[in-house]
Amino acid sequence: MSSVLSQTIPLPALTVPAPLRWLVLVALLMSGCTAMPTAETPRTQGAPVTADTELSGSPALALLERAGQAREQGRDAAAGRYLERALTMAPNSSWLYRELALLRLEEGDPAAAEGLARRALRLAPDNDAYRADLWELVAAARAELNDPEGADAARARAEKLRRGQA
């Protein structure tokens, strides 16, 4: 599990029908959310953005872990509260905003999810692979909001970032 977390998750080219895309995305992203990372890589420019790199040594990490457990149990309110508490301890953590965005998308509030995902983007300007994932998340939120053009634009940004990385 920790190996999943300590690297950003590469997203396969999505060939699933559009409405299912975000489901796939959420499933993919969530697979890494619940585990507690163990590796300790210091954050450098362009280095992976993970819960571990951002929150190493912070008590926010324990709350993030509990948020993951709560979500597994379907306790969304609890997960939200844990994540927000973590955020007061680590207000500039892109990862925590990403987690909140995923939660809100799952809860059926794509508008909020987009805002939070963009906040996550703003806080992690350096890692292209991670940013590409976040743009996919924005795309999923926009698709939910019946904004196909916006979703396409976000996906194009994700593609561009991945190409730049390759």
Residues of this chain that interact with other proteins (CB under 8 A) are 45, 58-59, 62-63, 66, 70, 77-82, 84-85, 87-89, 91-92, 100, 104, 111-112, 114-116, 118-119, 122, 125, 160, 164
Nearer to other proteins, 91 or 148 (CB): 91
Residue 35 CB, shortest distance to other proteins, in Å, is 17
Rounded distance, CA 32 to CA 36, Å? 9
CB nearer other proteins, residue 5 or residue 101? 101
DSSP state of 35: S
Amino acid letter for position 97: Y
Could you tell me the smallest distance in angstroms from the CB atom of residue 162 to other proteins? 12
Taking the least distance from each CB to other proteins, the nearer of 4 and 36 is 36
Interhelix angle 148-165/128-144, nearest 10 degrees: 170
Cβ nearer to other proteins, comparing 30 with 119: 119
Q: How far is CA 141 from CA 49, 62, 79, in A?
A: 21, 28, 20
Least gap, CB of 46 to other proteins (angstroms): 8
**Ramachandran angles phi, psi of 118, nearest 5°:** -70, -35
